[in-house]
Structure 1
Amino acid sequence: MDIAQLSDRILNADRRALARAITLVESARADHRAQADELLSSLNKSGRQALRIGMSGTPGVGKSTFIETFGMMLVGKGLRVAVLAVDPSSARSGGSILGDKTRMERLSREPAAFIRPSPSQTHLGGVARRTRDAVALCEAAGYDVVLIETVGVGQSETVVSELSDLFMLLLAPAGGDELQGVKRGIMEIADMILVNKADGDLKSTATRTCADYAGALRLLRKRPQDPEGFPKALTVSAVEATGLDTAWAEIQALAEWRRQSGHWDRNRAAQAQYWFAEEVRQALLARLDTPWAKSRMTELSAEVAKGVQTPQAAARDLLTGLGVTNR
C-alpha cells in the first residue's frame, strides 16, 4: 500500500480512501499497524481539527434517528459530517450487525456525509479501540463535525469523553428510573442532556422530564470547563426535527467558550496523554498473547492451584520472563 498516495487522497477528501484508511488502522496485523502509524504521523501534520461530539443514550431512545436528522441539518448548513458508530460485538460469536448505514439511509446518500460503523470487539468503554484513530482520519479528510455514537449507556461509556470535545446524552421522556443503572458517572461527563421524542402525546411529558434533569444537573459540582448555564438539558424531536437548531446553537456557544478560555487545547492535550498511556497498556497486554506467555501462564497457574507458589510470586516470575520489572 502506498501510504503517501493514500495520505494525499485523504487530504483531498476522498471518501473511498478514508474508508480504506480506517480499515487499515483497525487491523491488528503487525505490518498493517506499522503502515497505520506511518499514515497517522503523516496526516497529523495537516493540523486540521473538527468538532468532536460524543453521543450516548439509553436503548430505544432513538440515537440513530437523532443522528441522521441532526446530521442532515448540519449538511443543510453547508457542513461536512462524519459519523463513527460503534456497534456491540457478540460475546459468543464476536460478530456485529453494523447496521447504522441502513438505519441512516438519507444521511448515507449525502456526498457531504460519511458513516462508518465499527465493531466494539472486546474493548470496553463504549467505543472501539481504534475509534480515536478513525476520528483523526476524519479530521484530516476535512470533516467539520465528527459524531461518535457509543454502543449504549452505562458507566463504562465515560471513555468517550477522552476522544470528544463535547458529550451529549440522549434520554427518553418519562424515564424516571432509567439513570439508576448509570448513576453519576455519565451524568458528570455530559455537557448536554437531550430529551428526545418531544412530539405528539409525549411532548408535555418530555418537557417535564427535561425540567427534572435540569434540576438534577444544578445539583452537580461546578466544572471548570463549563460557562454559566452548562451543562444543560433541552428537548428535541428527531422525528419532527424540532429543537435541533437550538441544540446546535448551544453546542457552538459551548465550543467557542472553551476555545476562548483555553480549555479546548488543554482538553485535547490531556486526551493525547490518556491515549498514549492506553497504547502502552494495550501493548503490554498484547505480550500476554504470545505462545510462550500462554504456555508459561498455564504452568504457573497449575503451580498456584497446587500451592507451590503464591499468586504474587507466580506473577513476578511471569513478568520477569517477559522482561517487565515488577515494582
Structure 2
Amino acid sequence: MYKDPSYFIQGVLDNNRLTLARTITLIESTLQTHQDIARNVISELLPHTGKAVRLGITGVPGAGKSTFIESFGNMLTGLGYRVAVLAIDPSSTRSGGSILGDKTRMEKLAINDMAFIRPSPSGGSLGGVARKTRETMLLCEAAGFDVIIVETVGVGQSETTVASMVDFFMVLQISGAGDELQGIKKGVLEVADAIVVNKADGDNVTRAKLAKKQYETALHLVTPSSPNWSPPVMTCSALEEIGLEEAWETIKQHKKIMSATGELDEKRKDQAMSWMWFLVKEGLENWFYNNEEIKKVLPTITAAVESGKKAPTRAADELVSVLGSDLLF
C-alpha cells in the first residue's frame, strides 16, 4: 500500500488527514525508494496546486508568533478558510533532534477541524528552514487548504529563505524599553511585505504605537521589494484578538494588487526556478560525496589542507580533476 503512489495521491486529494501526514513523512524521508515515490506523487499533484495564499511569518523570540498564528488561524477558519500551518522547529546541531512542540503551543488550533498543523525539524538546513517545506506546501494546497502559513524560527537566514517561497512575508515585532530598531535587520526589512507590532494591549499600547512610527520611518529608508506595494506597519494584540482582521485585509489587498499586475505569477515562476536550481546544487553535492573515487582521496586531501601541506585552491583542483576523470571513463 505505502509503495503505491496512488495511495498517497488520492488520499491527499480526498483531504485524508492521516494520508496527508504520511505523505509529508514520505517526502521528508531520505531513503532513495521513498524519494522515488515522492517525486511521482508531487508530479501528479502539481496540477492541483497554486490556489492557496502562501504566508510566511517570522519574528524575534518573544514576539508571540505561536499566539498570533493560533489566533489568526482560528479567525480565518471562522471565516470559512481552511488553514495549514507548517511550523519549522530548530533541530539540535548535535543530535539532530527536535522538540516539535508547536501543537502544544497551539492547542486550540490543533483541535480545529478546519486547520492542520505540521511541525517539521529543520534538519540543520539553511536558516532553520526544513528542506522539504516547499513540497509540503504543495501537498497542503492539493489537499484543498486555502491559506498556508510557514512559521520560521526567526534566526539566521531563515527569514530570507522563507520569503523566497511565499506570496506574503509578515514580520512580527514587539515594543520594548529601548531602541525598537535594534532587533530588526535591514535584510528583513527588504523582504517584508508588512510589519506587525504584536502585544499592543494593556499598558503596552502607547509603546506599540511608538514602535509603529519607528518602523515606518525605517521602511522609508529601504527600497521596497515590489514597485507596486509599500509595506505597511500595523499593531495588533494576538492575545486579545485585536487587529487580526486588518492584517488579513492587508494580505488580501496585496494579493489583489500583485495578481492584477502579473507580479504574483512572475514571483511564483522565479521561486520555482530557484527551487529547481537549489535541488540541482544539492544533488550535485550529494553525488560528489557519494562518488567512490572522491571517497578514496578525500581523507588524504583534507588532511593535507588541514596540516598546511596543500593549498585549498590546489586541493579543490585535484578533487575536480578526480570527478573529471570519473566522468570521462
**TM-score bracket for this pair, using the shorter chain length:** over 0.9
Distance in 2 between the 1:147 and 1:77 partners? 16
Unaligned ranges ≥5, structure 1: none
Does 2:112 correspond to 1:110?
Answer: yes
TM-score by length of 1: 0.93
Distance in 2 between the 1:311 and 1:252 partners? 51
Tell me which stretches of 4 or more aligned residues in structure 1 moved more than 6 Å: none
Distance in 2 between the 1:243 and 1:236 partners? 4
Alpha-carbon spacing, 1:193–1:307, altered in 2? closer, same or farther (3 Å)? closer
**Native 8 Å contact 2:126 2:157 kept in 1:** no
| Aligned positions of 1:199-238 closer than 5 A | 199-227=201-229, 230-238=230-238
Structure 1 residue identity aligned to 2:120? S
Quote the offset at 1:219 in angstroms.
2.0
Among all aligned residue pairs of Structure 1 and Structure 2, give the percentage whose two residues are the same amino acid: 46
**Native 8 Å contact 2:76 2:83 kept in 1:** yes
Distance in 2 between the 1:77 and 1:199 partners? 24
Alpha-carbon spacing, 1:123–1:198, altered in 2? closer, same or farther (3 Å)? same
Structure 1 residue identity aligned to 2:300? E
Alpha-carbon spacing, 1:54–1:176, altered in 2? closer, same or farther (3 Å)? farther
- What is aligned with 2:252? 252
- What is aligned with 2:131? 129
Structure 2 residue identity aligned to 1:150? T
Name which of structure 1's ranges 76-85 and 276-285 shifts more when overlaid on structure 2.
Answer: 276-285
TM-score by length of 2: 0.93
- What is aligned with 1:296? 297
- What is aligned with 1:37? 39
Quote the offset at 1:154 in angstroms.
4.0
| Aligned positions of 1:39-58 closer than 5 A | 39-58=41-60
**Native 8 Å contact 1:188 1:220 kept in 2:** yes
Alpha-carbon spacing, 1:174–1:309, altered in 2? closer, same or farther (3 Å)? closer
Quote the offset at 1:322 in angstroms.
3.0
Q: After superposition, what is the alpha-carbon deviation per residue over 1:245-271, rounded to whole angstroms, capped at 9, x for unaligned? A: 011111100111101110000000000
Query: C-alpha root-mean-square deviation of aligned residues, in Å?
Result: 1.9
**Native 8 Å contact 1:48 1:142 kept in 2:** no
Distance in 2 between the 1:234 and 1:153 partners? 22
Does 2:95 correspond to 1:80?
Answer: no
- What is aligned with 2:15? 13
Distance in 1 between the 2:43 and 2:50 partners? 13
Name which of structure 1's ranges 195-204 and 279-288 shifts more when overlaid on structure 2.
Answer: 279-288
Structure 2 residue identity aligned to 1:318? L
Distance in 2 between the 1:177 and 1:154 partners? 21
- What is aligned with 1:262? 262
Q: How many residues align?
A: 323
- What is aligned with 1:183? 185
